[in-house]
Structure 1
Amino acid sequence: MKTLSKSRFVSGVQCEKKLWYSYYRKDLQLPTDEPTQAIFDLGHQIGNLAQNRFPNGKDATPEDFSDFSPSIEKTKLWIAEELETIYEATFTAKNALCMLDILHRMNGEVWAIEVKNSTSVKDYHLTDASLQYFVMKEAGYAPDKFFLMHINNQYIKNGELTDEFFHLEDITDKVLSKQTWVEENLERLLVMLENKQEPNVSIGAHCSSPFACDFVHHCWKHIPENSVFELYRGGNKAWELYKQGILKIEDIEDDFPLTHFQHLQRKGLRNQEQYINKEAIKNMISSWQFPLYFFDFETVFPAIPVLDGTRPYQQVPFQYSLHILEEDGKLSHKEFLAHPEDFSNGKNPLKLLVEQLKQDFGTDGNIVTYNQSFEVARLNELANIFPEDAPFLKNLVSRVVDLLPVFQGGFCYFPEMKNSASIKSVLPAVAPDFTYRNLVIQEGGTASSLYHQSILQQKFVEENLAIHLLKYCELDTYAMVVICQFLLNVV
């Protein structure tokens, strides 16, 4: 009979077929992509930090992950010796295996501690913690308490990280309440794995919850392009259509209830039909005052704060681009990019950014964004950090307007947009020759990742990275200029 690790148990609870494939059809599994690998790497980093809160433990991590027996024996020996702290304590029972992040003795109690890089306890955390407790209990080592150790999102960095970076949450009662459930599901999954025949499991919402499945490309291969799952904010509506046997958006019956945007999407696919509501667009943008300032931030949002005064996962601006369009059509450009070393050398890159904003913005004219909630939130955060600059920053906030609702609200729709109102979806329709393809950095995630690495190394990690970052951000705001000029011509 197979042996289930906690990760495979969680996979099996999500989908039997996902678990079955992980044993019998590994050939279908795609290589780990960069974002997923980054999550894994972060998990290891957070795990190492957590050990600092319970220092001087012994590590039972196996040298060879195909053989856990040495780790199991070390764990038994160190528990018998009443060692205070064990990292990766390893247990097996009832054809299940678990490695606990931290096993710790505290005031005569044995604590099981599982470490996560989230900022709260999730349902799937309880699933794997409950399996761990079950295995430990069946192996004869039931802990007195079970804790989930996660990041405290209210922690504010001030110098070196302190113990308050983590929050230790007692989940013992929740884990105990799931023990019968764990045993039943463990038995079910082990029996299922003994069957060499692939489980009959249809696609469903479980394919992406709680994790994106590594086998979606295989299980969803019958789903065509422009499927009902690509309906804008389709949600349950898409599954309703799928159950009716309708796969393509253009095949949706005319009497099926769709939102305005979804209706435009269907017409666009059927007839390559665009829609422009000139009056609605005019009502939105005709009151905007020149000069128009097209503005965009780039940010990092690390789990481990990189700047004093910031919290875990806080969006921290490191760059902005600003195009200024005068009423006579004259266009100029301003920009700011912080030096990575300024995050650690005593200078405050956020203060430098605010001082540059003061030089680049005039006192009149609207500030044009694409999804204003992001830029407004960053400006308000800066106002809270620097009260002395709050009047200036609040004035900027009061002048912000947004291009996104024109497209998100369905006042202007092109078939090229499909199910998205993002700036990169709108551009091919209004400016077919506009492209990011010639840039080294072509999207914000890459910009953020590379700059975060630069902060950690206190220098730009790649030659000409500063130039590439500036070019990317500049093109983002120029794209807004192009879209706005198109709309002004329309009305």
Structure 2
Amino acid sequence: MRVLTKSRFKLGLECPNKLYYTNKKEYENTKLSDPFLEALAEGGFQVEELARMHYPNGVLIEGNDWDYQHLWEQTKELLKLENVIIYEAAFLIDGLFIRTDILVKKGNSIELIEVKAKSFTPDDDYLLIGKRGGIVSSWKPYLFDIAFQKYVIQLCFPKWIIQSYLMMADKSKKASINGLNQLFRISRKGENRTGILKMVNSIEEIGNPILGRKNVTEIIQAIEDNTFKYHENLTFVDSINFFRELYQKDEYANWKTSFSTCKSCEFKSEDGKLKSGFKECFTRQHNWTENEFNKSKIFDIYYFLKGNKLFDEGIYFKDQLSEDIIGLKIESEKLSTSHRQWLQIEKEVNSDKSIYVDKDGLKEEMSKWIFPLHFIDFETSTVAIPFNNNLKPYEQIAFQFSHHIYYENGKIEHANEYINNKAGVFPNFEFIRALKTALEKDNGTIFRYSNHENSILNSIYVQLVDSNEDDKEELIKFIQCISHSKTESATKWKGKRDMVDLWDVEKRYYYNPLTKGSNSIKEVLPASLSSSNYLKEKYSKPLNQINVSSKNFPDDHVWLEIENDIVKSPYKMLPSLFDGWSEEQIENTLSEIENIDNGGAALTAYGKLQYTDMEQHEIDELTNALFKYCELDTLAMVMIYEHFKELIK
């Protein structure tokens, strides 16, 4: 039975063409689906289980997930009761199928409750509807999802009066017991299904409630009335009918291509082993041949805000661009955004692999750095359900760091590492103590890559201020010494050892065309290795021959591998953190989850350590893999530093 489900409706809203490619094994799909992985990363299943406890004595409809008719029959039987609460209620009508998180029926009065592992503050007037009166873009898919659910339910029961709600973590509330997040543990069930092992039986056992709900009935009505549209040329009901017909007939929509949607399309095949939906769209709609597919396109241009407008004007390729179109502005003290864009365009069009470096600017910057140089990287998580008493939902958890030291004589030491792999332990204060011990021995310059580490230290600062730790003043002073306050911070500071952002240095003074516009360390590292004779010569030798120590790799480990004359990214040499998935696959699959910009692989592994029952050997194996990931991040920073040092000679 080919029915339009909630997930397919959402896919159709993204791009109706995707309905033709979805669930076809012959097509590449970089956004794979694994409920277990998503549960570990997002905590959605735990939030859902906690939400159910607010509506006790409900009936769960489970099993037979693909037997839509059977699930609908079960639901209909329960709905004969005057009053009933149903978890995962199913509704099937006219080729449309939905399941609701929580449905509360009191006669003809219905509460439709959608549970999300997102957060809100009750006094945020612009959470869902922005200041300009439109739906906030990040909430649009969720609200249209609820509207679709209500539409299907109303078709089944036209006389029902339906109120719609979002239930989420309330960031104004604090947990009142320790170990709250350990009361909901994740387990695999059968074929790739996820379940929750609940350790409590009543809402009273969890202390203060940390979930709240927001009435969205009026917004849903406005969506149904077409006050809010997802696509300007489709009404709400028309979109449902259009998507249903496309999916049932298995027809290609021929929906117009666009810059934003096509740029992030998951149905792209890089290696040609599977079919590419992206390629088929541009062949059908633009008559592209291999010649066009081989040309450099505008999709990957760094921070390209003009992309949508230019694409609509028929500009798809970099060789169609000019300095005037880009609005090139060259600044003396740094690489401007437009200059960086133009370098990327010009070098790709001309097949120029040479590096751009502002030697004078980079040299002046590096002259300020004090030896020994310290390189640090944090692995962190934010969880909807707090670890400890007095913590709010989505508090930052810092569970791991790595620390390399580069001495003036060229010696490289993997000096320190920390990890908390114990379930249910709030690690932040132990983490900051370990970091303080690692960094307080001298006044050498400290490096991070991107703003993440500074943000985390700001979060721990706030947690310390609210804590009763005996050494909190000492730890606060340490944080203030090596970081700077965020704009919204009530207390302002800039430390005398404020960390240097190597990511910012790279952006200001350096452009390597092999990165294809990306500033991610996972792209900059292999590009640097490929472009640097010094790094190639050094890292083609084992660690014990190049004065580099390691806590997790053997002395004879070699970081440089070349396949088909191309430097293999060291990140591809690391062990899998999740059931044979590559880090890239994990990142793609989790890309739409809130609060995951990168580091999804480590975050998922941490979730596995926290919420699943594992044998000690499994814990040790996963811990060792996490150590290797984090060590490479700080060694990568060292390598990039060495590359910069080579360039300014």
TM-score, L = length of structure 2: 0.66
The amino acid across from 1:76 in the alignment is: K
Structure 2 distance, partners of 1:3, 1:490, is: 59
Q: Which has the higher helix share?
A: 1
Matched, 1:116 2:122: no
Correspondence for 2:514: 416
Correspondence for 2:606: 451
The amino acid across from 1:56 in the alignment is: N
Provide, for residues 263-300 of structure 1, a one-character-per-residue CA deviation record: whole Å limited to 9, x for no partner. 11123322223211112112323222223221111223
Correspondence for 1:151: 169
Alpha-carbon RMSD: 3.3
Secondary structure (helix, strand or coil) at the match of 2:76 reads: helix
Correspondence for 2:543: none
Q: Given the alignment, which residue of 274, 286, 293 partners 2:355? A: 274
Question: 2:89–2:102: 8 Å Cα contact kept in structure 1?
Answer: yes
Matched, 1:404 2:503: yes
Structure 1 distance, partners of 2:80, 2:500, is: 66
Aligned counterparts, 1:315-394, within 5 A:
315-341=396-422, 343-344=424-425, 348-361=426-439, 362-371=441-450, 373-387=451-465, 388=472, 389-394=475-480
Correspondence for 2:297: 227
Does the C-alpha gap of structure 1 residues 152 and 232 become closer, same or farther in structure 2, counting only changes over 3 Å? same
Does the C-alpha gap of structure 1 residues 481 and 3 become closer, same or farther in structure 2, counting only changes over 3 Å? closer
Matched, 1:256 2:355: no
Matched, 1:4 2:39: no
Correspondence for 1:92: 92
Structure 1 distance, partners of 2:423, 2:244, is: 54
The amino acid across from 1:173 in the alignment is: E
Structure 1 unaligned spans of 5+:
none
Question: 2:397–2:427: 8 Å Cα contact kept in structure 1?
Answer: no
CA drift at 1:395 = 0.9
Secondary structure (helix, strand or coil) at the match of 1:39 reads: helix
Question: 1:296–1:369: 8 Å Cα contact kept in structure 2?
Answer: yes
The amino acid across from 2:360 in the alignment is: E
Secondary structure (helix, strand or coil) at the match of 1:334 reads: strand
The amino acid across from 1:204 in the alignment is: S
Count of residue correspondences:
481
Aligned counterparts, 1:195-214, within 5 A:
197-205=251-259, 207=261, 214=266
Q: Given the alignment, which residue of 187, 208, 215 partners 2:267? A: 215
Correspondence for 1:38: 37
Does the C-alpha gap of structure 1 residues 408 and 309 become closer, same or farther in structure 2, counting only changes over 3 Å? farther
Structure 2 distance, partners of 1:166, 1:326, is: 50
Structure 1 distance, partners of 2:573, 2:311, is: 40
Structure 2 distance, partners of 1:277, 1:413, is: 9
Does the C-alpha gap of structure 1 residues 251 and 203 become closer, same or farther in structure 2, counting only changes over 3 Å? same
Correspondence for 1:440: 575
TM-score, L = length of structure 1: 0.85
Secondary structure (helix, strand or coil) at the match of 1:293 reads: strand
Question: 1:16–1:201: 8 Å Cα contact kept in structure 2?
Answer: yes
Does the C-alpha gap of structure 1 residues 8 and 464 become closer, same or farther in structure 2, counting only changes over 3 Å? closer
CA drift at 1:105 = 4.3
Structure 2 distance, partners of 1:93, 1:464, is: 48
Correspondence for 2:557: none
Structure 2 distance, partners of 1:276, 1:192, is: 51
Question: 2:109–2:160: 8 Å Cα contact kept in structure 1?
Answer: no
Does the C-alpha gap of structure 1 residues 204 and 306 become closer, same or farther in structure 2, counting only changes over 3 Å? farther
Structure 2 distance, partners of 1:208, 1:59, is: 39
Secondary structure (helix, strand or coil) at the match of 2:117 reads: coil
CA drift at 1:238 = 6.4
Structure 2 distance, partners of 1:343, 1:231, is: 43
Secondary structure (helix, strand or coil) at the match of 1:315 reads: strand
Structure 1 distance, partners of 2:321, 2:427, is: 52
Correspondence for 1:142: 160
Question: 1:230–1:419: 8 Å Cα contact kept in structure 2?
Answer: yes
CA drift at 1:176 = 1.8
Matched, 1:13 2:13: yes
Correspondence for 1:478: 635
Matched, 1:461 2:615: no
State the percentage of identical aligned residues.
Answer: 26
Structure 2 distance, partners of 1:288, 1:422, is: 23
Q: Which moved more, 1:249-258 or 1:316-325?
A: 249-258
Secondary structure (helix, strand or coil) at the match of 1:84 reads: strand
CA drift at 1:390 = 0.5
Matched, 1:60 2:195: no
Does the C-alpha gap of structure 1 residues 479 and 26 become closer, same or farther in structure 2, counting only changes over 3 Å? closer
Question: 2:374–2:406: 8 Å Cα contact kept in structure 1?
Answer: yes
CA drift at 1:208 = 6.5
Structure 2 distance, partners of 1:191, 1:478, is: 53
The amino acid across from 1:146 in the alignment is: S
The amino acid across from 1:52 in the alignment is: M
Structure 1 distance, partners of 2:240, 2:379, is: 46
Matched, 1:287 2:368: yes
Provide, for residues 323-375 of structure 1, a one-character-per-residue CA deviation record: whole Å limited to 9, x for no partner. 2233344443322323422644xxx532222222232222522211111x211
Q: Which moved more, 1:223-232 or 1:300-309?
A: 300-309
Question: 1:229–1:238: 8 Å Cα contact kept in structure 2?
Answer: no
Question: 1:228–1:238: 8 Å Cα contact kept in structure 2?
Answer: no
Question: 2:171–2:392: 8 Å Cα contact kept in structure 1?
Answer: yes
Secondary structure (helix, strand or coil) at the match of 1:386 reads: helix
Question: 1:203–1:219: 8 Å Cα contact kept in structure 2?
Answer: no
Structure 1 distance, partners of 2:345, 2:22, is: 38
Structure 2 distance, partners of 1:224, 1:152, is: 49
Secondary structure (helix, strand or coil) at the match of 2:403 reads: strand
Structure 2 distance, partners of 1:202, 1:477, is: 44
Does the C-alpha gap of structure 1 residues 130 and 142 become closer, same or farther in structure 2, counting only changes over 3 Å? farther
CA drift at 1:179 = 2.5
Question: 1:86–1:102: 8 Å Cα contact kept in structure 2?
Answer: yes
Q: Which moved more, 1:326-335 or 1:357-366?
A: 326-335
Question: 1:454–1:460: 8 Å Cα contact kept in structure 2?
Answer: no
